[in-house]
Amino acid sequence: MKVIALEEAFSVPDMATEGAALDQPSTFRPDFLADVERRLPDFTELRLKDMDEHGVDMQVLSLTNPGVQMQPDARIAVSDAQLANDVLAGVVGARPTRFAGLAAMPLQDPGAAVRELDRAVNDLGLSGVLVNGHTLGHYLDEPQFRVFWEALAGHDVPLYLHPNSAPLGWSVFDGRPELIGPTYAWAVETGAHALRLITSGLFDQFPTAKVILGHMGELLPFHLSRVDTRMPYLITDVKLAKKPSEYFTENFHITTSGVMANSALLGAVLAIGIDNIMFAIDYPYESSSQAMEFLHGLPLSDADLNKIAHGNAERLLRLT
């Protein structure tokens, strides 16, 4: 069975990211962080070996969190995105059967992001974009980003909405730092970001726009019915043409990155359909061994398993 993993991170050591440093304490063990830092900038020695050992045919690469989203200088954000995308295109071009790529976007300057999107798709041959959550506290439903959504819909490529590691400032996590990050907080914020896109009317304006959420949909497949039942009773500034769940099934896809539970996968299938779900590992943050064991153990028909393993990604990203 062919396997495409869709949320696989890399870093570029030469990026001018000093201004983007988050300078926050980490609750992860130092040995884990050291291994991640060793693997992120590598494409051939460690990464390909890991892929071959575990039966991963292709990784879809993207710049690791926070990418360029927390760079306070827009000019540096643009040059960093260009550098990262050039590196990524070189890696993909050297091994097009093993790697595809999602471009970094300097949304600090929406006009520059549109130009970089054009370059990434038309000149570099990348398959879409990945945005690491908010950009300096600004979310993608805000009016200044509509020009970017128009360009994205015009190119007919997806936007992968990934969490941003910038501190949330929510007092509910005070004293419990282990809940910040991928354990829980990132899912809540990224899911809320996705709901902002839906409730802002973005997909009424751009009905063909496509968004990918990782981590089994950042909890949203299991909360859509609640959102649907509440919306008719709320006073809102935007009147939607559809139920929120309908936008989710028509405009969103999800990946399995970091969530390796049959119950979650089967629940997502029931909520949004098999055609909207794709496999991902979240290398090097997650275990390829565990993710592949999960994939091969799914209680699905061969046809449905192949959709998740590679077919849906090939269709959405036009990888064939």
Q: What is the pLDDT of residues 173-214, one digit of tens each?
A: 889 988 988 999 999 999 999 999 999 999 999 999 999 999
Query: Which residues form the domain of 59?
Result: 4-317
294 has pLDDT over 70: yes
Instruction: Please tell me the distance from the alpha carbon of residue 93 to that of residue 209, in angstroms, as a whole number.
Output: 27
Q: List the structure tokens of 82.
A: 């260009």
- For position 15, what pLDDT does the model report? 82
H helix runs in the chain, sequence order: 30-39, 46-54, 74-94, 110-118, 146-155, 185-199, 202-205, 215-218, 224-230, 244-251, 262-272, 288-296, 302-306, 312-317
Per-residue model confidence as pLDDT tens digits over 124-177: 999 999 999 999 999 999 999 999 999 999 999 999 999 998 777 889 988 998
Q: How far apart are CA 16 and CA 217, in angstroms?
A: 31
Q: What is the CATH number of the domain that holds 131?
A: 3.20.20.140
**b or e along 238-247 (b: 16 or more beta carbons within 10 Å of the residue's beta carbon)?**
eebebbbbeb
Q: Label residue 143 left, alpha or beta by phi (over 0 means left) and psi (-120 to 50 means alpha).
A: alpha
19, pLDDT greater than 60: no
**Rounded (10°) angle between helices 46-54 and 30-39:** 100
Contact of 8 with 36, CB cutoff 8 Å: no
| Interatomic CA distance for residues 67 and 11, integer angstroms | 8
pTM: 0.96
Count of domains observed in the chain = 1
Number of helices (H) and strands (E), helices first, in the chain?
Answer: 14, 8
Active site residue 282: yes
Q: Are 47 and 59 in contact (CB under 8 A)?
A: yes
How many percent of the chain have pLDDT more than 90?
88
**Model confidence at 18: pLDDT above 70:** no
pLDDT at 49 over 60: yes
Q: Which of 42, 46, 56, 45 is nearest to 12 (CA)?
A: 42
Instruction: Give mean pLDDT, residues 70-97.
Output: 96
> Which residue out of 275, 282, 302, 304 is catalytically annotated?
282
- How far separated are the first and last CA of the chain, in Å rounded? 15
Q: Name the residue among 303, 282, 251 with its Cα closest to residue 50.
A: 282
